[in-house]
Amino acid sequence: MTGTATLGVGILGSGPVTQAIHLPALARLTDLFTVRAVMDVSEATAAEVAARVSARATTSVDDLLQDATVEVVAVCSPHQFHAEQVIAACRAGKRAVLCEKPFATTTDEASRIAQVSVETGVPIIVGAMHTYDPGWVAFTEAWGPTRGSATHIRCSAVLPPNPRFEDFATEVTNRQPPQASSPSDAVDDRANRLRGGILGLAIHDLPLIRAFLTATDRIVVHAVQTLTPFGYLVVFSCGEQVVELHAHMSANWSPSWLFEVFSGDRVGSVNFTPSYVQAGSAEAYISSAGQQVLLGPSTRNGYVEEWQHLYDLAHGQAPRYSPADLIDDLTFALDLSARAATALESNPAPVGAR
C-alpha cells in the first residue's frame, strides 16, 4: 500500500540496531517514511545519527512523543524501557509503534501493553524480523497448516560477533567497548548468559517454533549447555514434539542461520540471511518423496517488510499478529528461558566450546 505523503518516524534509542538495521531499511522506503526525530540519552550520539537522515535530535522521550511531525515510533532503547515507552507512544496518539524484541520483560508488562494498544487503537509490531521475512512467509504458505505438523524442529545460528556485521552496514558511532575479561564459568553467570541468549537471539525464531507446536505450556528441558565465547545448546520438548536450539558466536568467517522442521513425510528448511545485512530474504525448501520445492529469495528482507507492514497498519490494514499473539510469543520465550536456566543451575558442570 502506498500513499501520497510519507509518514514521519521518531526513533527512541540510537545504538547499533538503529544505525545498522533500521536506518538502512528506511533508506529503502523513502517513498513511505521520513525520519523526523532521533532520541538518545547521549546528546552527541543523537546529534550524529539524526544528522545522517536530516532529522531533529533530542535527548528527551517526551519531546519526541510530543512532536506532531512524528506519526510512527520505533522503540530501540534498552529492554527495560520498552514497555513504558511503547505505552507512552500509544497514549501520545501515534499511528503505529514498532518495538524491538523483546517488547516487554514480563507477561504483566506485555498484558499492559496489549490493553493500552486496544484502548488507544494504536497497533504494535515487535521487531522479530524472521516472522516478516518473505522467505518464511512463502515457506509457511507452501507448507500449509503448521500447528502440530512437525515431530522435530531444529534452529541453529552460527555467527560472527555483531560488530562485524554492523561495520558492513554502517559506521557505528558511540559503540560500547567489548568486555575485556573472559566469560565467567560461575553457574549464575552462565545462567544469566543463557537467559540473555534466548531472549536476545533465539527470540527471533521462537515465534516460528511456536507456530509448529501443539502445546507450549508443556515445556520439558532435556539438555542445556552454554558455549564460549557466546552460545548455547538447548534441547526441549512440548508433548511429543522435540526442539533443538543451538547458537554459537565466534570468529568464524561464514555465517549460517538455519531453521528446519521434520515431519513424517517431508522436511522443510529456511536459510536466513544474518542480522544487520540488507542481503535479501531467506531461501527455503520443502522436500518430500524425492521432490524439492525451492522458495525465494526475495530482494526484500524481514526488516524492510516489518516497516512496510507498519506503514500498512498506520493506514488501517489489519495486523498480521494480534496483541494476544505477541503476549503468547513472549510468554513462551520467558518460560523457556526460565526453565533452561533452572536446568543449567541443577547441572552446573560447565560444558562448552573453547
Question: What is the mean pLDDT of the segment spanning 211-238?
Answer: 95
Transcribe 292-341 into DSSP letters.
Answer: EEEE---SS-HHHHHHHHHHHHHTTPPPSS-HHHHHHHHHHHHHHHHHHH
- Our CA angle for 132, 104, 335, nearest 5°, is 90
CATH of domain 7-128: 3.40.50.720
Grid cell at residue 10:
521518531
What number does CATH give the domain 131-300+321-346? 3.30.360.10
- Residue 354, pLDDT above cutoff 70: no
pLDDT confidence tier of residue 184, bands split at 50, 70 and 90: confident
Query: Could you tell me the pLDDT band of residue 203, with boundaries at 50, 70 and 90?
Result: very high
Please tell me the predicted confidence (pLDDT) of residue 1. 39
Q: Label residue 85 by pLDDT band (50, 70, 90).
A: very high
Q: What percent of the chain has pLDDT over 90?
A: 81
Q: Which pLDDT score, from 0 to 100, does residue 251 have?
A: 79
Q: What is the mean pLDDT of residues 216-232?
A: 93
Tell me: pLDDT of 3 over 60.
no
Grid coordinates representing 264 are: 513424517
pLDDT of 352 above 50: no
Q: What is the pLDDT of residue 185?
A: 84
pLDDT surpasses 80 at 276: no
Could you read off the pLDDT of 289-346 as tens digits, one per residue?
889 999 999 999 999 999 999 999 999 999 999 999 999 999 999 999 999 999 999 9
Q: Express as a percent the part of the chain with pLDDT over 70.
A: 90
- CATH 3.40.50.720 domain locations along the chain: 7-128
What does the mean pLDDT of the chain come to?
91
Question: In which residue ranges of the chain is CATH 3.30.360.10 found?
Answer: 131-300+321-346
- Residue pair 307/29 in contact (Cβ under 8 Å)? The answer is yes
3-state secondary structure of 6: coil
Position 173 pLDDT exceeds 70: yes
Q: Do residues 280 and 300 make contact, with C-beta atoms less than 8 angstroms apart?
A: yes
| Residue 179 neighbours by CB under 8 Å, 6+ apart | none
In this predicted structure, the answer to whether residue 236 has a pLDDT above a threshold of 70 is yes
Query: What CA–CA distance (Å, rounded) separates 287 from 127?
Result: 30
